[in-house]
């Protein structure tokens, strides 16, 4: 596979061109950015962890930065590979050999979260620059003394040497994201009065000492990279001017081989480090250009929501960066570069940027890649089934489409029934709302694959159990989705009369119109997933006022911290109002365009006047009415996605994938 990438560089000549780093040759310009996979177990390298990296080396990257490794005893947690003693040498050697033999350099990441924590609770074991609380968790770290810092420098350098002995080509220090090294760099989190605080030299000292200790122990051939803050989005923190001063100071020795820049900090700006489709692609490129001007001659890897091979090629061709670092794009498709090089960019499974891979506490998983870390993951296409069967798929959303293309690619005769005229289900509606561009990515891939595999579509058709039975299928994949439950306070006639619709139904008629309306749009929110808030943002473009009401104590409780921050930021900027710990008091006042609400604890009431739009967004219940009659008719039925139990896009893709392989 790597030979393909090297040989065919006509399409993306800059991206596919080699680059010399520390005297060694990188076969192309793609770097795999560090991402925590949670594939290690009990501090050990696992076969799945190695396989994850083999796949990215085989399909795309010329250099991989691993997830953070446990380089000092206080960092010991089961999900981090232990490097601070010799017990893992065998696993580390197997990991390095597997990746390096694919002509891909492997760099271990040195990182410590310091006081930073975004899971519930505080971290009693945190170490840090100063006794200041983490903005998100409130964790106040133990302040590292000068002697403790010297011991850490020694530990990190010895860990780097151990990695080198095991066959790793280098290390990266992760100095952004508001983690320990960032906490030392920033005057906002470092108020020390000793040699490790104060001026630029003091705040950079800890990192500079690690770099020179690594260089001293590992020699001239070992690659040392830094991920530095570019703009941390914190008042009194590190903006672009300070970022250039830091970068220039830390690279002056010539010991650092390349830099990348991370944005945001472990504060209200954490969301900046993994931007999503609410903003432009490659949003930090202008900043990278600006920062580069202050550090001429230092190689830079451009980083941040780079998804498109043509954009990546242009970054290299225009001289904006020497390398392109990809995070989520390579979780979604390890063959990102192979497919591009073969003229098959349309076959790439592109990142949805819903950030479901981030901080889940579970091993790496992806909305658009159900095979993360499997041995056949790279450019996977199913093997033919032994016996051809007739398969009916009910539902043309993400789950149904995933099952359909795979079943057809295995040689089955597949018909998909969808009750609307288009494929995509809820993802299609979400794609039409703000920040929704990428929600179509799974469906776009599935539709292309389905056409290639010969799936037949019957769209705009609502089938009954008898319709399906009459087709005499060998197997049915039931992917007919879910419906929002009606809030208990809402009388049945308000729903049947259409006076109060669910949010999805209420949005559909508005999508084609661009006119603004007087009055308030009100959403009653028990759902708390990202889509509800995208709907609020859409409504803000149509109504004078938007109010989200929820009985829960805050918004977006089903979204990752970073997504929640981004939602709250946009709500603030767009003037979208919210009422938390608030329920609705149903009476007939909606007839007069009024809604009365009540505080859930103290009973205080209020009224929203001039209500022009009102809908509820609630948890969903499966739309699985066909399952029992089909089973009673002796048909093999696979229930998948929301139809099984309403959850996320990630579950829908995964279950559709499994069903497509099982029928």
Ligand X SMILES: Cc1cc2nc3c(=O)[nH]c(=O)nc-3n(C[C@H](O)[C@H](O)[C@H](O)COP(=O)(O)O)c2cc1C
Q: Which residues bind ligand X (CB under 6 A)?
A: 33-36, 67-68, 109, 111, 174, 227, 262, 273-274, 303-306, 326-329, 357-358
Nearer residue to ligand X within complex by CB, 118 or 419: 118
CA 159 to chain centre: 29
Residue in the structure block whose two tokens are 């209420």: 506
Strands 30-32 and 63-68: parallel
Instruction: Find the shortest distance in angstroms from Cβ 635 to ligand X.
Output: 40
DSSP label at residue 605: E
Residues 55 and 63: their CA atoms lie apart, in Å, by: 13
Instruction: Find the shortest distance in angstroms from Cβ 654 to ligand X.
Output: 17
Instruction: Find the shortest distance in angstroms from Cβ 326 to ligand X.
Output: 5
* Contact by Cβ (8 Å): 50, 66: no
Nearer residue to ligand X within complex by CB, 88 or 109: 109
DSSP 419-462: SSSSS-HHHHHHHTSTT-GGGGHHHHHHHHHHHHHT-EEEES--
Provide the phi-psi class of 266: left if phi over 0, else alpha when psi is between -120 and 50, else beta. Answer: beta
Instruction: Find the shortest distance in angstroms from Cβ 367 to ligand X.
Output: 12
User: In the sheet that 582-585 helps form, which strands lie side by side, from edge to edge?
Assistant: 582-585, 595-599, 605-608
Instruction: Find the shortest distance in angstroms from Cβ 305 to ligand X.
Output: 4
Instruction: Find the shortest distance in angstroms from Cβ 537 to ligand X.
Output: 21
Residues 294 and 284: their CA atoms lie apart, in Å, by: 16
Nearer residue to ligand X within complex by CB, 196 or 358: 358
Q: Find the largest Cα–Cα distance for the chain.
A: 81
Nearer residue to ligand X within complex by CB, 68 or 641: 68
Residues 449 and 467: their CA atoms lie apart, in Å, by: 26
Strands 620-622 and 611-617: unpaired
Nearer residue to ligand X within complex by CB, 358 or 538: 358
Nearer residue to ligand X within complex by CB, 81 or 463: 81
Instruction: Find the shortest distance in angstroms from Cβ 34 to ligand X.
Output: 4
Instruction: Find the shortest distance in angstroms from Cβ 230 to ligand X.
Output: 11
Q: Which residue's Cβ lies closest to ligand X?
A: 327
Nearer residue to ligand X within complex by CB, 190 or 329: 329
Nearer residue to ligand X within complex by CB, 329 or 446: 329
Nearer residue to ligand X within complex by CB, 49 or 507: 49
Give the closest residue to 427 by CA, choosing from 451, 445, 443. 443
Instruction: Find the shortest distance in angstroms from Cβ 338 to ligand X.
Output: 18
Nearer residue to ligand X within complex by CB, 130 or 353: 353
* Cross-strand partners of 302: 324
Residue in the structure block whose two tokens are 């040989």: 7
H/E element, 156: helix 146-165
Instruction: Find the shortest distance in angstroms from Cβ 81 to ligand X.
Output: 12
Instruction: Find the shortest distance in angstroms from Cβ 328 to ligand X.
Output: 4
* Contact by Cβ (8 Å): 141, 115: yes
CA 627 to chain centre: 33
Nearer residue to ligand X within complex by CB, 171 or 468: 171
Ranges of H-type helices in 219-325 = 240-251, 285-293, 309-317
Residues 613 and 506: their CA atoms lie apart, in Å, by: 8
């Amino acid at each position: 596979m790597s030979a393909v990438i090297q040989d065919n560089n006509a399409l993306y000549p800059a991206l596919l061109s080699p680059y010399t780093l520390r005297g060694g040759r990188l076969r192309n310009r793609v770097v795999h950015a560090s991402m925590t996979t949670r594939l290690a177990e009990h501090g050990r390298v696992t076969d799945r962890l190695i396989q994850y990296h083999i796949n990215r080396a085989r399909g795309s990257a010329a250099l991989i930065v691993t997830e953070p490794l446990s380089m000092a005893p206080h960092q010991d947690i089961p999900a981090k590979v232990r490097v601070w003693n010799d017990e893992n040498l065998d696993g580390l050697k197997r990991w390095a050999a597997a990746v390096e033999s694919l002509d891909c350099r492997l760099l271990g990441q040195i990182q410590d979260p310091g006081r930073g924590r975004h899971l519930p609770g505080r971290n009693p074991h945190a170490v840090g620059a100063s006794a200041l609380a983490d903005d998100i968790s409130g964790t106040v770290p133990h302040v590292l003394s000068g002697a403790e810092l010297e011991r850490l420098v020694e530990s990190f350098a010895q860990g780097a040497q151990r990695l080198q002995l095991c066959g790793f080509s280098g290390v990266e220090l992760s100095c952004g994201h508001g983690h320990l090294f960032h906490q030392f760099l920033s005057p906002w989190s470092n108020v020390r009065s000793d040699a490790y605080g104060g001026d630029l030299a003091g705040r950079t000292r800890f990192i500079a000492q690690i770099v020179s200790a690594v260089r001293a122990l590992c020699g001239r051939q070992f690659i040392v990279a830094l991920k530095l803050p570019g703009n941390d989005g914190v008042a009194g923190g590190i903006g672009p001017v300070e970022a250039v001063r830091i970068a220039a100071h830390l690279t002056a020795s010539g010991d650092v081989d390349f830099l990348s820049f991370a944005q945001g900090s472990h504060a209200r700006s954490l969301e900046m480090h993994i931007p999503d489709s609410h903003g432009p692609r490659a949003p930090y490129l202008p900043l990278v250009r600006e920062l580069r001007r202050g550090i001429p001659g230092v190689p830079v890897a451009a980083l941040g929501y780079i998804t498109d091979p043509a954009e990546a090629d242009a970054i290299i061709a225009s001289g904006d960066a020497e390398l392109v670092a990809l995070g989520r794009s390579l979780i979604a498709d390890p063959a990102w570069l192979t497919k591009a090089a073969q003229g098959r960019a349309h076959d790439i499974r592109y990142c949805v940027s819903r950030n479901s891979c981030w901080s889940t506490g579970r091993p790496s998983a992806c909305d658009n890649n159900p095979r993360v870390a499997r041995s056949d993951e790279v450019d996977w296409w199913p093997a033919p089934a032994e016996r051809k069967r007739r398969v009916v798929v009910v539902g043309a959303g993400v789950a149904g489409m995933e099952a359909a293309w795979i079943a057809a690619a295995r040689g089955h005769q597949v018909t998909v029934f969808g009750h609307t005229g288009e494929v995509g289900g809820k993802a299609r509606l979400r794609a039409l709302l703000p920040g929704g561009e990428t929600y179509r990515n799974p469906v776009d891939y599935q539709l292309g694959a389905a056409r290639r595999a010969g799936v037949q579509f019957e769209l705009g058709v609502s089938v009954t159990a008898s319709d399906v039975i009459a087709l005499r299928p060998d197997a049915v994949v039931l992917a007919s989705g879910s419906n929002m439950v009606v809030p208990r306070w809402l009388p049945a006639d308000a729903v049947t009369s259409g006076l109060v619709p669910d949010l999805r139904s209420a949005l559909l008629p508005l999508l084609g119109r661009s006119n603004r309306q007087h009055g308030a749009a009100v959403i009653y929110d028990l759902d708390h997933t990202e889509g509800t808030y995208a709907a609020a943002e859409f409504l803000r473009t149509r109504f004078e006022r938007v109010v989200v009401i929820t009985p829960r104590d805050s918004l977006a409780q089903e979204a990752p911290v970073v997504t929640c921050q981004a939602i709250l930021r946009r709500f603030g900027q767009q003037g979208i109002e919210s009422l938390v710990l608030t329920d609705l008091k149903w009476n007939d006042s909606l007839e007069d365009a009024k809604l009365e609400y009540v505080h859930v604890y103290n009973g205080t009431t209020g009224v929203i006047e001039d209500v022009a739009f009102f809908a509820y967004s609630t948890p969903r219940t499966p739309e699985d009415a066909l399952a029992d009659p089909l089973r009673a008719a002796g048909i093999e039925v696979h229930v998948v996605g929301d139809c099984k139990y309403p959850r996320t896009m990630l579950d829908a893709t995964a279950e559709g994938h499994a069903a497509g392989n099982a029928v």
